[in-house]
Structure 1
Amino acid sequence: MHWSERIANELIERYPDRQTYVCAAGISPSGAVHIGNFREIVTAYFVTKALRKQGRKVRFIFSWDDFDRFRKVPAGVDPGFEQYIGMPYVEVPCPFGCHASYAEHYEKEFELALAEFGIEPEFIYQSREYQSRRYNSLMLHAIRHRTEIYDILHAFKTGGAHDQERAVYYPVQVYCEECRRDTTTIQQFDEQTERLGYACICGHRGTLSILQATHMKLQWKIDWPMRWKMENVAFEPGGRDHSSETGSYNVSKVISENIFGNPAPSYAAYEFISMKGSHAKMSSSSGSNYTPGDLLKVYAPENILFMFAKYQPNAPFHIGLDEDVIRNYTEYERYRNPAAFKELSPDIEAALELSMPDSHPGRAPKFSQLSGILPLVNFDYRLLQELLHRVGESYAKEQLEPTARRAEYWIKHWYPQKLITVKEHQDHQRYETLDSLERQWLHTVCDLLKDAELTGSTRMEKIYAICHHDDKKMMKQNQKRLFSLIYQLVLGRDEGPRIPILIEGVGVHRMLDLLNFQK
């Protein structure tokens, strides 16, 4: 049973009378949302699909924590943005001048990427929720129970609680009405009037009515369980950093039950994703990451979804943009082949189903094939289409171009090793190293190229037959040796596109110019 189906079954068993199952995810727009963050929303997304498959009604929500404080200027943003540290993300200007705020810039970037995956949650912008006063009654409740919250928080710490610290603890942060930063200290709270007084390091002092406040928010470990209650959340995943024995989930679980009187939702911890060659955790603020948008320039959405679906959430994996791209595409293309469907394990079959968009993408060319041909035709998609047609593979423009664009981007930006050029002159130095059998093979290949009566398929049959040997294993070795020799003499490398495509792409006359040493 696939992990998403197992979680869905557990939810149905735990909440048999729920009319609607709320599955939640959330991210703070601290910078470009990376593919590690994506694991949170895609984990919830797969569970929603498993629930819907069982006929259950689902509400899939995604919270943008854009009322959180701006903590750090990320790589790629003007260092002058340090002046905004301590302000809510939604009030920090857009660093690139193209959106209404810092928060909106990164939110819209990620939302556009999600749309390409067909992932359409209900977006909740926490700045709007807080400023609408929707949470104020629960904030007041938390403030009235602040000493209990303090004791819960400190029960998860190694150091003990302190009476003096407890007396001045408040579970909220206040953004100053003057400087808009959270550099404030709460000085008193009047139980009768429900008003709170604060002082900011900027010199401003103010009082506010908690039920009317629009510039105050709960601290994270109290905010999270408050929202579970407000949205009636049944399931939410969380990263490994939130999932330790003393992590945010376990702390928030106790606060949810003891302070808000609400059982914590079911939870799945997910592991971090690393970039190939790096053991560092991806971070929006460090700039050391791939975003979903980055990957979509190379991978089709269904390929990316499959990578996430085939691993248990608590299993780490890495993503590379080197030769792994070919391996990942080839694996997915093989699984999608109806002939191979009978051989799939139940988990792989489920992962494949979860990765499929609602509208089937239809027939598409193989990525590895296009990446081998495109440099040969100088990335001309029309020539690519014609060449494939000549070797018996016809694709409409809309079938061909999405994969071609991704292959071109991958080669030019990530894997220039795929760039190939046809040699200008015969490689006499390499030819002199060949033995008599290899030279005879080449001579026969040239004879077959000269025969204008041969069709492409017939010519290939005869080229394969050049290396005939009673020992099948030896014959395959010889064929591989011959093809490698052709690639070396034509392209200056040991491999290349399939020989029929190489012949069509380079042209018979040019092939003969490079291979015929017996003129």
Structure 2
Amino acid sequence: MHWAYKIATELINKYPNKETFVCASGISPSGSVHIGNFREVITTYFVVKALQDLGKKTRFIFSWDDFDRFRKVPNNVDAEFQQYIGKSYDNIPDPFGCHHSYAEHFEAEFEDSLKVFGIEIEFIYQHSAYTSGKYNKQILHALKQRKEIYDILMEFKTSQSSNHDRDAFYPLTIYCKKCGKDDTKIILFEEEQEEIKYECLCGFQHQIKIMEANNIKLNWKVDWPMRWMMEDVIFEPGGRDHSSETGSYNVSKEIAKRIFHFEAPDYTPYEFIGIKGHNGKMSSSTGNNITPNELLNIYIPEIILFMFAKYKPSTAFNIGTDEDVLKNYTEYERYIVNNLNRSLEDEDIKYALELSHSNKTLSRLPKFSLIASVLPLVNYNVQLLQKILEKNGEKYDIQTIKKISNRAEYWIKHCYPIKNIVVNQNKASDLFQTLNDEQRNWIYQLQEYIALTNNSDSQLMQKIYAICQHHDKKIMKANQKQFFTLVYKLILNSPSGPPFPILIQAIGKDKTLDLLDFQ
């Protein structure tokens, strides 16, 4: 059983009377949301789809933790933003000047990419929830239970607790009403009056009523279980950094049970993913990342979804932007064809294709490897590419071709320039002089066949393969490999290229004959 359906089935069995299955994920908009963070969302998304497929009503919520403090200036943000460290993300200007706040800029960037994937989510903006007073009752409850919360936290630490620390502990952050930063210290909590007094490093002091406050946020390990309870969450994944024995989930699970009297949601830890050739751990707060939008320049959304769907959340994997792009496209295309032909036997792959919601769409798309091999030869002219495809029995409208060709062009020019193959301007005479008599005879025969055969004739390839005919099949196979390598080098100065009839169509019969004419 596919992992998403296994989780969904377990949830249904655990909550047989649940009317709506609330599944959650969330990210702090500390910078551009990278493809590693994307696993947080996509894991939940697949479980939601599986629940829906099993006939259950779902609610998929995503929390933007934009009331968190700004901790670090990312590499792609002006160093002047150091002045805002300590403020909440929603209370910082957009470093790029196109949105109302720092938070909104990175939220909009990620939300737009989710639309491309067809992922529909109910977004919850935590700065709005906190400042509206939605959580004030729970904040007051946590304050009154602060010593019990301290005891729970200390159960997961190796350090010794003390009565002094217990009395001084408060499970929340206060943003100063004057400077907006969290450089604050609580100096008095009047439980009966439900008021709290704080002072800030900026010199400001203030006393506020908890039930009227709009500048208080619960600390993470209290905030998380509080929101589980508020939203009745039954499933949420988390990264491996939250999943250790003393990690955030296990701590929050105890706080949920003992402080908020709520059973923590089922939890699936996920491994981080990487980008092949990309050094260092991706991080939104440092700017060392690759975003879903950037990956969409290379891969169609269905393939990205498929790559996440086919691996269990506990499995780490890398996404390639080098030659692996060809492998990933080819693998997906093969699975699609087999599925449509009802010859795909792997049930998990079938479900992964279904979860990527594109098995029908991709069947109408041209092959990426073919497009990538022909595009440079026609100087990235999509209209000419369309004509060549039509000559070979593959008819697509121009927009369908562009869906693949735009990504192939980006990949070649920005990630894998070795594929930017161009036709030789002059004959490769120096190479031809290195050939032995047998190899030269191969070229002479090929030139003759091209001159006498229509380049769309299906018999052309049979004649070409016959050039290296030999009674020993191993020798013949080796000769054919050597022959094609030589031909591509003589025409393209590359050891490989598109299928030969298509190569002739792309550069023209006359140009091909000219580059092979050494007699």
CA apart distance, 1:360: 3.4
Instruction: Return 479-488 or 212-221, whichever deviates more.
Output: 479-488
1:373 and 2:393 correspond: no
SS of alignment partner, residue 458 of structure 2: helix
Query: Residue type matched to 1:286 in 2?
Result: T
- Partners in 2 of 1:334 and 1:71 — Cα distance? 46
Aligned partner of 2:134 in structure 1 is 134
Post-superposition Cα deviations, 1:477-498, rounded to whole Å, max 9, x if no partner, equal: 3222221111010111111111
Query: Residue type matched to 1:390 in 2?
Result: K
Query: Residue type matched to 2:405 in 1?
Result: A
- Kindly indicate whether the alpha-carbon contact (under 8 Å) linking 1:256 and 1:264 is maintained by their aligned counterparts in 2: yes
- Kindly indicate whether the alpha-carbon contact (under 8 Å) linking 1:335 and 1:341 is maintained by their aligned counterparts in 2: no
Aligned partner of 1:164 in structure 2 is 164
Query: Residue type matched to 1:439 in 2?
Result: R
**TM-score when normalising by structure 2:** 0.97
Structure 1 gaps, min length 5: none
1:29 and 2:32 correspond: no
- Kindly indicate whether the alpha-carbon contact (under 8 Å) linking 1:276 and 1:318 is maintained by their aligned counterparts in 2: yes
Aligned partner of 2:515 in structure 1 is 514
- Partners in 2 of 1:474 and 1:442 — Cα distance? 18
May I ask how many residue pairs the two structures share in their alignment?
A: 518
Aligned partner of 2:124 in structure 1 is 124
CA apart distance, 1:340: 6.2
Aligned partner of 1:217 in structure 2 is 217
SS of alignment partner, residue 504 of structure 2: helix
- Partners in 1 of 2:392 and 2:465 — Cα distance? 17
SS of alignment partner, residue 26 of structure 2: strand
Equivalences for residues 162-241 of structure 1 within 5 A: 162-241=162-241
- Kindly indicate whether the alpha-carbon contact (under 8 Å) linking 2:336 and 2:362 is maintained by their aligned counterparts in 1: no
Query: Residue type matched to 2:282 in 1?
Result: M
CA apart distance, 1:453: 5.1
- Kindly indicate whether the alpha-carbon contact (under 8 Å) linking 1:483 and 1:499 is maintained by their aligned counterparts in 2: no
- Partners in 1 of 2:429 and 2:359 — Cα distance? 56
1:40 and 2:45 correspond: no
Query: Residue type matched to 1:11 in 2?
Result: L
1:431 and 2:443 correspond: no
Query: Residue type matched to 1:352 in 2?
Result: L
Query: Residue type matched to 1:500 in 2?
Result: P
Query: Residue type matched to 1:137 in 2?
Result: K
- Report the CA distance shift for 1:390/1:81 in structure 2 as closer, same or farther (over 3 A): same
CA apart distance, 1:504: 0.8
CA apart distance, 1:422: 1.1
1:315 and 2:311 correspond: no
Aligned partner of 1:111 in structure 2 is 111
- Partners in 2 of 1:292 and 1:353 — Cα distance? 21
Aligned partner of 1:503 in structure 2 is 504
- Partners in 1 of 2:345 and 2:439 — Cα distance? 42
Equivalences for residues 215-294 of structure 1 within 5 A: 215-278=215-278, 280-294=280-294
SS of alignment partner, residue 72 of structure 1: coil
- Partners in 1 of 2:361 and 2:330 — Cα distance? 18
CA apart distance, 1:357: 4.2
- Partners in 2 of 1:147 and 1:358 — Cα distance? 55
RMSD over aligned Cα, in angstroms? Answer: 1.4
Query: Residue type matched to 1:449 in 2?
Result: I
Equivalences for residues 470-489 of structure 1 within 5 A: 470-489=471-490
Query: Residue type matched to 1:459 in 2?
Result: L
- Kindly indicate whether the alpha-carbon contact (under 8 Å) linking 1:391 and 1:500 is maintained by their aligned counterparts in 2: no
Equivalences for residues 383-422 of structure 1 within 5 A: 383-422=384-423
Query: Residue type matched to 1:387 in 2?
Result: I
Query: Residue type matched to 1:114 in 2?
Result: L
- Partners in 2 of 1:235 and 1:163 — Cα distance? 36
- Partners in 2 of 1:128 and 1:357 — Cα distance? 36
- Partners in 2 of 1:334 and 1:184 — Cα distance? 59
- Kindly indicate whether the alpha-carbon contact (under 8 Å) linking 2:69 and 2:85 is maintained by their aligned counterparts in 1: yes
CA apart distance, 1:458: 2.4
**TM-score when normalising by structure 1:** 0.97
Equivalences for residues 302-381 of structure 1 within 5 A: 302-338=302-338, 341-357=342-358, 360-381=361-382
CA apart distance, 1:287: 2.0
- Partners in 2 of 1:50 and 1:443 — Cα distance? 60
